[in-house]
Amino acid sequence: MKTFLKILLKYYLKYISKLIIFIHKPIIIVVAGSANKYFVKQEIKNRLLEKDFSVRANPKNFNTEIGMPLAILNLPSGYNCYKKWLPIVYSAFKKIFQANFPKFLVLSLGSSDPGDMKYLLKIIKPEIAVITEITQRYMEGFSDLNGLLNEYVCLVKKLNKKNLLLLNNDNLRIKSLEGDTKAKVITFGFSSDSDCQADIFKKIASGQNIKINFKNKSYNYNIKKFGKHHVYAQMAGLIIQAYVSEKIT
Amino acid sequence: MFERTKNLRLSIIKQIELKASVFPDAISLAQGVPSFDTPVCVKRRVERALRRGVVAKYSLSPGLPELRELIEIQLEKENMFYDWEKEIIVTAGTIEGITASILAITAPGDEIIIPEPTYTSYREVIYLAGCKPVFVPLNEKKGWAFGLNEYEKAITDRTKAIFFCNPNNPTGTIYSKEQQLGLAGLAKKYNLFIITDEVYKDFVYNNEQIFSLAEIPDLREQVIRIYGFSKAYAMTGWRVGYVHSDEKIIREIVKVHDALVTCAPVISQYAAMGALEMGEGDVENFNKNYKKRRALICARLDNLKNIFSYVYPQSAYYVFPKIKINIKNAWDFSLELLDKTHVAVVPGSAFGNNGEAHIRLSFGRSEEDINTAFDRFDDYFKNA
């Protein structure tokens, strides 16, 4: 019974989400990878907000077959409680008619079983995709790393030549995805051959000092967060902010 | 022989529980265990991990990367910024985090200052590390606040750290930002570590802001903060928590953590992921119940004004009443109470000398248990 209701809910949310996307036509930016999705997604959202765009990003880890539609609809999860799901199901329908739908959706995509990515990409058609990291993490439903990599191949193949793909240039597996896509590719990382390159990365008492080189310009940031993964988030944010400012405004 | 363990004692709370177990109708207000079961969302997350066969192997010593990333996200929401890759270790409950931290930062003979009354096991861990606990009394008249002068007087050449629990067990006190900054000033002045156990930080009943010294970037290399999922998420049996600090310190703590437990139980790490991903609503719900129980237990204590006086607890699920009648000591009083009413309470002396003449009552138990326990107290004390 539970499984049946879950399937029903999954497809209900899927088709409502598709309908809403069809009506409102937001620009969809997706963030995929086995690590650092949250921080990259937040940075992209913040950079777009800085430019006064209306943006919605998925809260928490709402990035699965049920979570992602909820993020699109801007609804909470009922988790394991039937009672909590009832008003959500009702609200989902009402969302079709909502005004002021955001111009941008920044969505992280979760993939813990083969085929997850394919399912999510039946709901949304991203215009920009970022692949943050591919490691041994989130191997739960995958027998090996190649199986996981296939999920990202599925994503990059979905992009067309008008779309943009950001690849972490420090990860060889991610780098190899460049050959599988028709989209314009921008690489980012610490490697010297990256299109967007982190030059200085220094820990200071109040956070980190970062220098990023992109399109013959240098950008200096002092951020209050610690860790190399935040440097990647800064680079992804910078690239997308520049791209959107140039192409979309 | 047994040189390392000779100063250690078995937990008084466990001793009381053991004595209570002989009474079939015993009610325990002694152990700090929530009456609730672990949230369903946590169990579901664990079931999924079990079905996928991902819990049988060790994780990396500092813990599953995905859990540590979730912890970093949680800390960021609380205005604390730590790198999950280098500055966070998932531990087998808070006590393992505390033990690993103390073993990492001290040498035998060092002194660690702890307030009293405070959690009983701190003393044992300090002795286990070959160190000496130096107790500084909290001021009951000022709502169990720190006395900064007393702390400064307690500092010697051997002092290595100031260690406290915020909110405090057993008093339920939330230490103010000013009080904590005062301690931070001492830590800076005398180059000391601050170990802060914040296992009760989610027990917020009136939107209080619980400040942590780990929020201050300038103190990163001195503050070691510890948290556990046991209390807030009703997960005492899962034994999972975490410790975070600057990478220079964590680098050393992880060596001890690896030697002690290799890694936190992987199944419990998945449980912790479930808690962080989906448990927020359950914590809110638990807190609503605890708030009601706090009001109930305090109302029942008010009916025994001739026997007890107390400082209203701001957080956690304990109240620490003072015994106003003539007694020999808190231990005998607790034993007599157990013997006559079959209600287990913890003698305040378990939390240090300054806790003498008090008892600790937990309102983590159900309203029914609290009412039955106090009905028995009412009967017992009616002629007192």
Q: What is the CATH number of the domain that holds B170?
A: 3.40.640.10
User: Encoding tokens for residue B19?
Assistant: 């004595």
Q: What is the pLDDT of residues B258-308, one digit of tens each?
A: 999 999 999 999 999 999 999 999 999 999 999 999 999 999 999 999 999
Beta strands in chain A (DSSP E): 27-32, 55-57, 104-109, 128-131, 164-168, 184-189, 196-204, 207-214, 217-223
Cβ contact, residue pair B49, A140, below 8 Å: yes
Query: Closest-CA residue in chain A for B48?
Result: A140
Cβ contact, residue pair A227, B84, below 8 Å: yes
Amino acid identity, position A104: F
User: Encoding tokens for residue B79?
Assistant: 């205005």
Cβ B214 vs Cβ B185: under 8 Å = no
Strands B88-91 and B111-116, by their bridges, are unpaired
Mutation to test the A interface, candidates B72, B87, B270, B276, most A Cβ within 10 Å = B72
User: Encoding tokens for residue B3?
Assistant: 């040189």
Q: Give the distance from residue B69's alpha carbon to the nearest chain A alpha carbon, in angstroms.
A: 8
* Pair B125, B274 in one domain: yes
Compute the distance between CA of residue A127 and CA of residue B226 in angstroms, rounded to an integer.
Answer: 43
Residue with tokens 């939330």: B174
Task: Look at residue B50 and tell me if it is in a domain.
Answer: no
* Pair B200, B344 in one domain: no
* Pair B297, B346 in one domain: yes
Residue with tokens 């180059």: B191
**Domain ranges across chain A:** 29-58+105-247
At residue A191, the pLDDT reads 95
Compute the distance between CA of residue B319 and CA of residue B169 in angstroms, rounded to an integer.
Answer: 9
DSSP-derived letter for residue A183 is: S
Backbone dihedral region for residue B371 (phi beyond 0: left; psi -120 to 50: alpha; all else: beta) = alpha
- Residue after which a domain boundary falls, among B279, B299, B320: B279
- Could you tell me the CATH number of the domain that includes residue B346? 3.90.1150.10
Cβ contact, residue pair B72, A79, below 8 Å: no
At residue A99, the pLDDT reads 82
Q: Give the distance from residue A220's alpha carbon to the nearest chain B alpha carbon, in angstroms.
A: 20
What's the domain count of chain B? 2
Nearest to B250 by CA among B88, B129, B91: B88
At residue B9, the pLDDT reads 85
Cβ contact, residue pair A226, B81, below 8 Å: yes
Cβ B98 vs Cβ B242: under 8 Å = no
Chain B residue numbers with beta carbons less than 8 Å from the beta carbon of A135 are 65
Distance linking the first and last C-alpha atoms of chain A: 49
Cβ contact, residue pair B87, A79, below 8 Å: no
The CATH class given to the A29-58+105-247 domain equals alpha beta
Cβ A232 vs Cβ A36: under 8 Å = yes
Cα-to-chain-centroid distance, residue B205: 17
Chain B residue numbers with beta carbons less than 8 Å from the beta carbon of A65 are none
At residue A59, the pLDDT reads 84
Residues in chain A whose Cβ is within 8 Å of chain B: 35-36, 38, 60-61, 77, 79-80, 135, 137-141, 205-207, 224-229
Q: b/e per residue, B339-374, with b = 16+ CB within 10 A?
A: eebbbbbbbbbbbbebbbbbbbbbbbbeeebbebbb
Encode chain A (249 residues) as per-residue pLDDT tens digits. Answer: 567 888 888 899 999 999 999 999 999 999 999 999 999 999 999 999 999 999 999 887 788 888 899 999 988 888 777 778 888 888 888 888 888 899 999 999 988 889 999 999 999 999 999 999 998 766 777 888 888 999 999 999 999 999 999 999 999 999 999 999 999 999 999 999 999 999 888 999 899 999 999 999 999 999 999 999 999 999 999 999 999 998 876
* Pair B292, B326 in one domain: yes
Compute the distance between CA of residue B220 and CA of residue B81 in angstroms, rounded to an integer.
Answer: 9
ipTM value:
0.92
At residue B272, the pLDDT reads 98
Q: Which domain holds residue B300?
A: 12-38+281-379
At residue A60, the pLDDT reads 75
At residue B280, the pLDDT reads 92
For chain B, what is the HEC assignment?
CCCCCCCCCCCHHHHHHHHHCCCCCCEECCCCCCCCCCCHHHHHHHHHHHHHCCCCCCCCCCCCHHHHHHHHHHHHHCCCCCCCCCCEEEECHHHHHHHHHHHHHCCCCCEEEEEECCCCHHHHHHHHCCCEEEEEECEHHHCCECCHHHHHHHCCCCEEEEEEECCCCCCCCCCCHHHHHHHHHHHHHHCCEEEEECCCCCCCCCCCCCCCHHHCHHHCCCEEEEEECCCCCCCHHHCCEEEECCHHHHHHHHHHHHHHHCCCCHHHHHHHHHHHHHCHHHHHHHHHHHHHHHHHHHHHHHCCCCCEECCCCCCCCEECCEECCCCCCHHHHHHHHHHHHCEECEEHHHHCHHHCCEEEEECCCCHHHHHHHHHHHHHHHCCC
* Pair B261, B274 in one domain: yes
- Residue after which a domain boundary falls, among B279, B311, B332: B279
Encode chain B (384 residues) as per-residue pLDDT tens digits. Answer: 888 888 888 888 888 999 999 999 999 999 889 999 999 999 999 999 999 899 999 999 999 999 999 999 999 999 999 999 999 999 999 999 999 999 999 999 999 999 999 999 999 999 999 999 999 999 999 999 999 999 999 999 999 999 999 999 999 999 999 999 999 999 999 999 999 999 999 999 988 889 999 999 999 999 999 999 999 999 999 999 999 999 999 999 999 999 999 999 999 999 999 999 999 999 999 999 999 999 999 999 999 999 999 999 999 999 999 999 999 999 999 999 999 999 999 999 999 999 999 999 999 999 999 999 999 999 999 876
Task: Look at residue B25 and tell me if it is in a domain.
Answer: yes
Residue with tokens 């119940």: B289
At residue A94, the pLDDT reads 84
User: Encoding tokens for residue B150?
Assistant: 């007393």
| DSSP reduced 3-state for A36 | coil
* Pair B69, B194 in one domain: yes
Compute the distance between CA of residue B34 and CA of residue B230 in angstroms, rounded to an integer.
Answer: 9
Cβ contact, residue pair A224, B217, below 8 Å: yes
At residue A50, the pLDDT reads 95
DSSP-derived letter for residue A26 is: -
Cβ contact, residue pair A38, B73, below 8 Å: yes
- Taking residue B327's Cβ as centre, other Cβ atoms within 10 Å add up to 15
* Pair B177, B216 in one domain: yes
Backbone dihedral region for residue A33 (phi beyond 0: left; psi -120 to 50: alpha; all else: beta) = left
User: Encoding tokens for residue B313?
Assistant: 């607890």
Q: Which of A139, A224, A227 sits opposite B83 (nearest CB)?
A: A227
Cβ contact, residue pair B87, A36, below 8 Å: no
Compute the distance between CA of residue A118 and CA of residue A152 in angstroms, rounded to an integer.
Answer: 10
- Residue after which a domain boundary falls, among B279, B309, B341: B279
